[in-house]
Amino acid sequence: APAARSCPTTTNTHLHIVAVMLALATASSAWWFPSGASTRDATVDGIDLACPDTSAPFGLACGMKVVATAKASCSDVLEEMHARVDGQADGSWHDPHNRGTYAVKKYGGSFSTSRLTGDGKFTDKQLFTLTRTGSGSCQIQACSRSQVPSGLDAGTNYCNLKMLFCGSHDCAGGRCCKPLKHDFTTAGEQTEKFMQSSVDLGVCLKV
CA separation for the pair 192, 45 (Å, rounded): 9
So what's the pLDDT on residue 40?
Answer: 47
pLDDT band at 35 (very low <50, low <70, confident <90, very high): very low
* pLDDT tens digits, one per residue of 63-82: 999 999 999 999 999 999 99
Q: Which of 206, 186, 60 is nearest to 130 (CA)?
A: 186
Q: Is pLDDT above 70 for 41?
A: no
Q: Is pLDDT above 80 for 12?
A: no
Mean pLDDT value of segment 11-25: 41
* pLDDT tens digits, one per residue of 87-118: 999 999 999 999 999 999 999 999 999 999 99
Bigger pLDDT: 44 or 142? 142
